[in-house]
Chain A
Amino acid sequence: MWELIESNKRRSFWIFICLFLVLVTLGGLIGASFLPPDGAWWGIGLAMLLTAILGIVAYWAGDDIVMSVGHATMITKESSPQLYNIVEEMQIAAGFGRMPEIYIVADDALNAFATGIRPEKSAIAVTSGLVENLSRDELQGVVAHEMSHIVNRDVLFMTFSGVLLGSITMMSEGLLRGLAYTGGSRRSKLGSASRSHPALLIATIVFALLAPLLAKIFYFAISRKREYLADATAVRLTRYPEGLAGALEKIAGTENSLANYNRFTAPLFIIDPQELTAAGEENKELFSIGSTHPPVRERIQILRKLSGASFRDYQSAFMNLKKSGDLIPERMLRDKTSVPLRQGAPGPIQPPYGSVEPTKKQKSRDIGDLLMAVGGFIFLPCACGLRIKVPPTIGKTSLPCPRCGRILFLPSVTAAVAQQDDEQVRKGTADDDTLVYERKSESWESFSCSCGYPIQLSPLFHANVIQCRNCKKKIEIRYPETTR
């Protein structure tokens, strides 16, 4: 982990130097061609100034990027315990000293990103669609990927190399537009240019054309590499590649596209939303030198081929697929300790509680539920997380869960006489006597009377007897022993 960060820093340093050299050369050439004597230095100074301004803007704007993505709510341990737990687990796994802020962006699309140029201001944001559609392990995979971006200081690096790229592009565009504007007549406003050698001028123009391309190639290549590295680190953190692989599959397979993003925020996401919006299956595989992210399918393939969680394993899976590449620095691979993968944990994802706005789907489902409750449906929760809505006319005492196949018994009254220790008393054995229903919890409950009529108990119901509205029988309600 730590060595990776170290080697990342070193590598970033060299990339910075390269981008910087391109910038300085461009500035120098422009200055030499168009400015008075010693113009080269003026040009370089101007380039620096431009970069500095862009850098400051990016530094201050960077922290607010979460807000620019739209309706983002910061969550707490209380409002959304599971997501909070998942993030905290990853923070522990990464040995990262500070808990990042967590945001849920109200959007049906599936995506996530991390921000924070300074580690103290780091944040992870996920869309509400992601929280709803992913399993716990998958969500963990995504969070681990974002956490890797934070601990590897990728946000800082990508922001500032983005700034360098930006100022290179601006300068060359400025120059080329300026030239096009003044036509071919160099002797007009830019008169002093006449003093410079025509060869120098041509060299400047050629370089101005090439520089942004060159810088982009640097930038995108490194960005893609960092995505792979974040995947590798995520596996290293969770030891469970299937989580991330499954998540990527779901994210890539979704049809909803993110409502708010732009050219500058797009590279921050776990999968570039621009590439997701490009409709059609074959477009998703389209891979160009101008992508900030590697193709999703390749990322999934690598993750599924891993035989262990170490960086060595990721490197060899990467090599197998791409037949080339030095993804992970040599120093990291020297450690030959094998890191075993773990089994996935079962357990359904839980909805975030509290403040997050319900999506349209959720709202319409709630209304449907309400109508069904009025219509006398019985809501039968299953251990697998599914809620089965049983029509009042079912006429059976048990049914299999459609998702997991467990046999569920419809809650119903039991005859009081048979109430010994035997819990599996069927209804209807002693129809004429007092009927008993034992409450299971303090929330909404529904059960059927011996005549088959459904009865609902609200959380506020505290009486000991209820009368069936159909057969007028009295049913005794018993409450679970209060726990001491």
Chain B
Amino acid sequence: MMWSILIFIGILVALAVILFLAVIGIYNGLVGLRNRVKNAWSQIDVQLKRRHDLIPNLVETAKGYMQHERETFIRVTEARAKAMGAGAGSPREVGQAEAGLSDAMAKFLLTVENYPELKANENFLRLQEELTSTENRIAYARQAYNDDVLLYNNKIEMFPSNIIAGMFQFLKSEFFQIENVKERETPQVKF
């Protein structure tokens, strides 16, 4: 009689310990994921800054060749200022402002097609490579961020981690979307 009670209690304790360990494991997993999402977001931030820094140089170089494209320059400069202003916002706000800048840059690059001398300028070629790379970096950083967010949000929604997530208030993260997907694509050169 005595023994069976002891065994019963022992089993209960063991179960409690296992449960506790599982909770710790899931909690740590969630924290790890949340940090990864944060880190991925700061990566995007870095790349967006890079883009903002690059644009004035590009505009300066192009100005000498494209004296009749004032409007294009003004549009790019304004879009850049707007995007920089949205820097600290939520992923959605940043996404919208950056979409405006992407749009302006795409139009600018299309205009550049009319100036073969500019396109052959070595300095401009370098800057253009930097721009291409920056656009790629933003796309790739966004891709990595969204992958992480997906993983994290899934964990928050799925059983059993959703219980822990609810208990410790892990909130779902927002995806980073750059609106107007059509205009996000690099402009195709037409002959």
Contacts and interface: CB of A to CB of B under 8 A. Distances in A.
A420 interface: no
B27 to A, nearest CB: 18
A440 B61 CA distance: 11
A424 interface: no
A383 B120 contact: yes
A394 B144 CA distance: 54
B140 A89 contact: yes
Contacts, number: 87
A5 to B, nearest CB: 13
Dominant SS among interface residues on chain A:
loop
Given A383-B119, A440-B65, A483-B63, A350 B147 contact: no
B129 A350 contact: yes
A312 interface: no
| Centre residue among A136, A381, A406, A441 by max chain B CB count within 10 A | A441
B90 interface: no
Band of interface residues on A: 35 or more
Give the one of B60, B130, B143, B188 with max A CB within 10 A. Answer: B143
B117 to A, nearest CB: 5
A477 to B, nearest CB: 15
Interface in B109-139: 113, 116-117, 119-123, 125-126, 128-130, 132-133, 136-137, 139
Secondary structure call for the B interface: helix
A452 interface: no
Contact of A483 (B64, B148, B191): B64
Given A350-B125, A383-B119, A405 B191 contact: yes
Nearest to A345: B186
Given A81-B130, A350-B129, A383-B119, A92 B191 contact: no
A346 B186 contact: yes
A13 to B, nearest CB: 20
A430 interface: no
Contacts of A81: 126, 129-130
A4 to B, nearest CB: 12
A135 to B, nearest CB: 12
Interface in B173-191: 185-186, 188-189, 191
B151 interface: yes
Contacts of B113: 383
B47 interface: yes
Contacts of B63: 483
Interface in A429-484: 440-441, 443, 480-481, 483
Contacts of B60: 483
B141 interface: yes
Contacts of A237: 140
Given A382-B120, A404-B191, A406-B191, A92 B130 contact: no
B43 A92 contact: yes
Interface in A235-256: 237, 239
A85 B130 contact: yes
B84 interface: no
B125 A441 contact: no
A92 B116 contact: no
Contact of A343 (B130, B147, B185): B185
Interface in A404-418: 404-406, 408
Given A89-B137, A350-B125, A404-B191, A2 B151 contact: yes
Interface string A74-90: 00000001100110111
B171 to A, nearest CB: 21
Nearest to A386: B120
Contact of B133 (A85, A337, A383, A404): A85
Contact of B129 (A82, A405, A480): A82
B150 interface: yes
Contacts of B148: 95
Interface in A61-102: 81-82, 85-86, 88-90, 92-95
A239 B139 CA distance: 10
B185 A342 contact: yes
Interface in A118-155: 136
Nearest to B44: A92
B105 interface: no
Nearest to A481: B64
Interface in B60-114: 60-61, 63-65, 67, 113
B40 interface: yes
Contacts of A405: 191
A86 B136 CA distance: 9
A178 interface: no
A275 B120 CA distance: 40
A95 B119 contact: no
Name which of A1, A89, A346, A405 has the most chain B CB atoms within 10 A of its CB.
Answer: A89
Nearest to A140: B136
Given A343-B186, A406-B116, A86 B133 contact: yes
Given A81-B126, A343-B185, A440 B191 contact: no
5 contacts: A88-B133, A136-B132, A346-B186, A346-B189, A404-B191
A-B CB proximity, top 5 nearest = A381-B120, A93-B140, A85-B133, A383-B119, A480-B64
Interface of B: 36, 40, 43, 47, 60-61, 63-65, 67, 113, 116-117, 119-123, 125-126, 128-130, 132-133, 136-137, 139-141, 143-144, 147-148, 150-151, 185-186, 188-189, 191
Given A2-B151, A81-B129, 4 more contacts: A93-B140, A95-B40, A342-B139, A346-B188
